[in-house]
A = this chain, B = another copy of it.
Amino acid sequence: MGSLSDNHTASSQPADDLELVDLWWRAANYLSAGQIYLQSNPLLREPLEPENIKPRLLGHWGTAPGLNLVYAHLNRIIVQRQREMLYICGPGHGGAAMMANAWLDGTYSELEPSVGLDGAGLEKLLRQFSYPGGIPSHAAPEVPGSINEGGELGYSLMHAYGAILDNPDLTVACVIGDGEAETGPLAASWRAHNYIDPAKDGAVLPILHLNGYKIANPTPLARIPSDELISFFHGQGYDPLFIDGVADAPHDVHPHMAQTFDRAFDRIHEIQSAARNGTAAEREARWPVIILRTPKGWTGPEVVDGTQVEGTYHSHQVPLPEVRENSDHRAQLETWLRSYKPEELFSDDGAPTPRLDPLRPEGPLRMSASPETLGGIKQPLELPDLAPFAVETTHDPVGEASATRAFGEWLAELIRVNSTNMRLFGPDEVESNRLAAVFDVTNRSWASAIHDDDTHLAPHGQVIEALSEHLMQGMLEGYLLTGRHGLLTSYEAFIHIVDSMFNQHAKWLEASRNIDWRQPIASLNYLLSSHVWRQDHNGFSHQDPGFLNVVVNKKPEIVRIYLPPDANTLLVTMRHVFDTHDRVNTVVAGKQPQPAWLSLDEATQHVNDGLSIWPWASYEPDLDLQHPESTTPDAIIACAGDVPTIEAVAAAELVHERFPDLTLRLINVVDLMRLYDPEHHSHGLPHDQFNALFTTDRPVIFAFHGYPSLIHLLTYKRANHAQLHVHGFKERGTTTTPFDMVNLNDLDRYELASDVVRRIPDKPDQDAADAAIRDWQSARADAQDYAYSNGEDPPHITGWEFHRH
């Protein structure tokens, strides 16, 4: 690993020589094609031979020339304006192009000194691309300057908008392929400027790169008339600017392109100056957008074996196949590569020609070296003390509190003391999830019209709410990837909408851990509320706890799941997750008032332990908390999740009232990964400790928040697994009462109590056990009858009180 050059002085020499821009473009195109094909002879100083060609030809040429063209012209802008910029490459499959520019920038050689700025380095650069043991073909974390992989399309523009929040000096150029523009997430992103404050945020310059085709089809946006495109962008609130490239005259694109880029950046400057001087006249800024129409695979092979390739989808990946074997194709490749005049592009030693120097921004102004993109937390989060926000728990019986409301108060303080590097995102659910206290200290960002009776809308605020989980997730990712902190709150069921975005972000983190020049970033934190057990009013479509099953598939280093059972535990959990990095922390907590079981001190210890025995909810007189293995209860009642905890505690009470001689141990799990075997997950409880708590032979009745199978998945290697009986969500839901929800899914206290008695061998005696189970089953049925007759749960359920003992 090397270190980046940080010289950063204003260039004295204008880079307005478009020949230089063309030279850069040619060099980048040469290097892009070279990465797909060459493993030796990188400078083409010898005739091209079969052995120079890689055995497997992999990569994507079609998008590369356009990406390179944009890069070259942006360099001109940066050098002239000394503007801090970032390049987001929506067509992330054009990884070769991004690598080409990172090498031309000098950045790559600084980060990876083994790939030097010389012939040997160049050979390695070309060879390693899309090569086993080398680097990926996409704009993956291995590519400097990248924060957007672009394999799964749709997220470039939301990443761009997330990156510029609270980044007033940053401009993000975001290239969007016309394929990506068909996706839903991208389509929802155009209007993200509604959450941008030109005074305090940076700017995004979207560049819609219409090259007409995706993998094997044309794209709709490339087939509609220009006036329809203009309308489309007017309708999205932008001012569209066109740049058109002509197949046979690539060089001719430069003057108009330079002019258009100048116009776009002038416009951005005007918008920002007006906002920052307080002279803005408009309702809302109309930001520029560029529509760049160039042939797909431009400057590449025009026709191959009689098929038109340039300007069609046939140029998408490898335009000339079987180059090693087919001498005609090889000749055509050589002609193609030599058309860029490699002799002009490189010095004798194989370094980029010094003629390019004036077009290369200095130090961190190079887009591939942008500090925004290298990871690293810009400013640690200041974490307020929890004590003033703790919920009172000294009263008996156990009182009630809304966990998310308590957390909301602390979150407000967190946001207040971190006013430029912490954001809250939510799909219109911040109030619904009881976090409205944040509006005491900040507002929702909103650039559109604000009416007199609107509340908490302002041009700038640290909360962003848009009814798109995709957009919220993507903007948060962009914000995190550029060194800041944040939280996404969502209804539990609907977080599945961003399953795939979670996957991609987790993969980004997984890969980044192995790249030593990428620094850690703040964790992606989810607070999922309005969860499966309290969607009795919205019904079946809102009842799904399966996101946890998606989470556990990712690498254990990355993922954590917390199920705090009450308000203080949620507070401690949230403070903890904000203090982590390079993870995805998923926290599920209800918003309804519920028992406040633990004091702040107890909660701190409990979160620290991850799971623990609750002695005051257990009925195990001789229990020694330090040595739980010294006693063996008749049964263990375990629970994870706030609603299951209530039912578990109530079930223990029911069993104890009926059978006071039985010993029952109640264990609450807040950190779900404690259940995993320690070989698999670093949080996994060592087997001896696990066995001390859960025994190796006593029945464990487990009341779980999610799908029961998840607990089995986590615990199948545990000694006592065969005795683990999990109750959780069985896809039985509808619009009903809260207690009927647990009842329908056999997670209610009566069924848990029945199962405890059913599973304890030989005691209590069979008749007494049968009688108890009969009574409890009849109590379940009665509760349902009551609800179906009266429209609400019976008073002995809603009014149940628990006394610590």
Contacts and interface: CB of A to CB of B under 8 A. Distances in A.
Interface stretch (A361-369, A378-386, A708-716): A708-716
Interface string A152-185: 1110000000000000000000000001101111
Interface residues of A, number: 118
Interface in A486-504: 493-494, 496-497, 499-500, 503-504
A550 B550 contact: yes
B553 A217 contact: no
A735 B136 contact: yes
Given A235-B229, A713-B709, A153 B467 contact: yes
B721 A183 contact: no
A775 B740 CA distance: 60
A217, A223, A234, A237 — most chain B CB neighbours (10 Å): A217
Contacts of A660: none
Contact of A497 (B55, B152, B493, B712): B152
A716 B721 contact: yes
Contact of A541 (B54, B152, B191, B217): B152
Given A228-B235, A497-B500, A444 B217 contact: yes
A494 to B, nearest CB: 6
B58 A735 contact: yes
A230 B235 CA distance: 7
Contacts of A784: 132-133
Interface stretch (A71-79, A445-453, A584-592): A445-453
A17 to B, nearest CB: 37
Contact of A549 (B184, B186, B550): B550
A219 interface: yes
A253 interface: no
A188 interface: yes
Contact of A716 (B131, B493, B712, B791): B712
Judged by DSSP, the binding face of A is: loop
A451 B467 CA distance: 38
Contacts of A709: 552-553, 713
Interface in A17-74: 39, 54-56, 58
A737 B180 contact: no
A218 B465 contact: no
Contact of A223 (B153, B183, B448): B448
A553 B546 contact: yes
Contacts of A451: 218
Interface in A641-665: none
A39, A154, A188, A497 — most chain B CB neighbours (10 Å): A497
A39, A130, A194, A500 — most chain B CB neighbours (10 Å): A500
A308 B538 CA distance: 25
A539 interface: yes
A314 to B, nearest CB: 10
B215 A312 contact: no
Interface stretch (A202-210, A429-437, A561-569, A756-764): A429-437
Given A234-B231, A544-B503, A549-B553, A133 B444 contact: no
A397 interface: no
Contact of A431 (B216, B235, B429, B507): B216
Given A430-B216, A449-B223, A499-B500, A471 B234 contact: no
A180 B537 contact: no
A329 interface: no
B790 A734 contact: no
B180 A457 contact: no
Nearest to A729: B553
A528 interface: no
Contacts of A93: 538
B500 A541 contact: no
A716 to B, nearest CB: 5
B541 A151 contact: yes
A449 B453 CA distance: 47
B500 A55 contact: no
A540 interface: yes
Given A149-B541, A471-B184, A552-B709, A788 B132 contact: yes
Contacts of A187: 184, 187-188, 190
A787 interface: yes
Contact of A216 (B308, B428, B468): B428
A217 B92 CA distance: 34
A55 B184 contact: no
Given A130-B735, A539-B137, A428 B214 contact: yes
B224 A237 contact: yes
Contacts of A188: 182-184, 187
A220 B194 contact: yes
A499 B550 contact: yes
A151 B539 contact: yes
Nearest to A496: B500
A96 to B, nearest CB: 12
A791 B131 contact: yes
A392 interface: no
A398 interface: no
A736 interface: yes
Given A138-B541, A188-B182, A188-B184, A132 B215 contact: no
A454 B542 CA distance: 44
A468 to B, nearest CB: 5
A585 B55 CA distance: 38
B467 A219 contact: yes
Given A132-B788, A790-B55, A179 B428 contact: yes
A436 B419 CA distance: 55
Nearest to A240: B235
Nearest to A191: B220
Given A500-B497, A716-B721, A791 B54 contact: yes
Nearest to A58: B537
Interface in A125-140: 130-138, 140
Contacts of A549: 549-550, 553
A133 B494 contact: no
Contact of A467 (B179, B233, B468, B713): B179
Contacts of A133: 736, 784, 787-788
A191, A219, A510, A791 — most chain B CB neighbours (10 Å): A791
A707 interface: yes
Nearest to A225: B283
Interface string A526-550: 0000000000011111101010011
Contacts of A697: none
B540 A511 contact: yes
A216 B189 CA distance: 21
Contacts of A235: 228-236
> Which A-B residue pairs are the 3 nearest by beta carbons?
A232-B235, A184-B184, A151-B541
22 contacts: A132-B787, A136-B539, A136-B735, A151-B538, A183-B188, A183-B467, A184-B471, A187-B187, A187-B190, A216-B431, A217-B465, A224-B449, A231-B235, A308-B453, A496-B503, A499-B500, A507-B541, A507-B731, A510-B540, A549-B553, A550-B550, A712-B716
Given A214-B428, A232-B234, A235-B235, 17 more contacts: A39-B791, A151-B538, A152-B493, A152-B541, A154-B184, A180-B467, A184-B188, A187-B188, A191-B220, A216-B432, A224-B237, A232-B235, A496-B550, A499-B499, A499-B550, A549-B550, A716-B716
